Amino acid sequence: MERPVDAIQSVRLDDERDMLVLLDQTLLPNEKKFLELKELKDIWDAIYFLKVRGAPAIGIAAAYGVYLGTKKSEAESYEELYEDFKKAKDYLASSRPTAVNLFWALDRMEARFKGEEGKSASEVKAALKEESELIRAEDEKVCESIGEYALSLLEPGMGILTHCNAGTIATAKYGTALAPIYLDQERGYDFKVFADETRPLLQGARLTAWELQEAGVDVTLICDNMASIVMKEGKVQAVLVGCDRVAANGDSANKIGTSGVAILAKHYNIPFYVCAPLSTVDLECKTGDDIHIELRPAEEITTQWYEKPMGPKDVQTYNPAFDVTDHSLIAGIVTENGIAYAPFTESLPKMFKK
């Protein structure tokens, strides 16, 4: 019997037709449309304009994209094919600056390319296809493992608050922060989920609330500024969020508004957990101060989601896509290899050795 979590595959490769098939997340919840992308520019646009989003899903899309870009090359030698590969890789890498999975996946594809040195162009292309499929398959297993570890922190009947979307449509399957919610369905934990709407792009309202409702989860949508009152009223016993980059000291970058949720959770003595695959942990990045924060267009605040402008014409805007939650506010960082606790400078490196 197919479970609700099995019904949505947001990123997949159609190799026979030389295309990347993506669920257009900008159209949800009103329209469930899959894009069929053959050109590298269209894949770049899909990443930049958030048609595909969520750190793991971006990495999977980039891996498939660089494979498809290389597959089209007519180069016959290894060296000439590598030049075309690098052009495709560098181009896709310019689409989003904050989510480390993008660069992790592209670097992994390059490592596989270099590992095929001396082989024919067709053999290298086959290897790149295999690697991209491995990245997707491994992410599914990673998410399930994160879900198991996160579930060990929770108790039946808990109220759980989440911010942005770290669900199955942001990954290969299960999601990160939402993975324990889907596993809960199989075990009768009966969680009650509160989803922040997550302004200005409303990923919580359009995506998290949508996919959880589609899966039959007890989900309640709230405005971002309602998080405090639901915590005060005792409706929330844990906060679970995803992450786009974790620094070596545990500082974690996630969708704008996450740090505010963490501050509230600290005030109300509610544990705040970051669910982060190791591919998002950047041990070369010492602290959150070293994380580049992407600035997005003004239209996302003033006009994109409204019939009429919601701000004065030509008003100045400041639209950072992410903020950084200080490590002191984080109760634990849940990875596929276990749960890291403070001090994170000691516990995070150990996660890579398991």
State the catalytic residues.
244
Query: Tokens at residue 162, please?
Result: 């989440």
* Sign of the torsion angle spanned by Cα atoms 233, 235, 237, 241: negative
Cβ neighbours for 244, distance < 8 A, ≥ 6 positions apart? 55, 98, 99, 100, 101, 253, 254, 255, 280, 322
Query: Tokens at residue 178, please?
Result: 């939402």
Q: How many CA atoms lie within 13 A of 187 on its CB side?
A: 16
For residues 76 and 81, what is the distance between their CA atoms, to the nearest angstrom?
Answer: 7
Phi-psi region of 269 (alpha: psi -120 to 50; beta: other; left: phi over 0): left
How many other β-carbons are positioned within 10 Å of the β-carbon of residue 297?
Answer: 12
- Given the DSSP bridges, would you call strands 238-241 and 159-162 parallel, antiparallel or unpaired? parallel
* Sign of the torsion angle spanned by Cα atoms 201, 204, 207, 213: negative
For residues 59 and 10, what is the distance between their CA atoms, to the nearest angstrom?
Answer: 13
Q: Give SS3 for 13.
A: strand
Please write down the HEC assignment for all residues of 278-321: HHHEECCCCCHHHCCCCECCCHHHHCCCCCCCCCCCCCCCCCEC
Q: Give SS3 for 272.
A: strand
For residues 77 and 120, what is the distance between their CA atoms, to the nearest angstrom?
Answer: 7
Phi-psi region of 233 (alpha: psi -120 to 50; beta: other; left: phi over 0): alpha
How many other β-carbons are positioned within 10 Å of the β-carbon of residue 30?
Answer: 8
- For residues 320 and 293, is the Cβ–Cβ distance under 8 A? yes
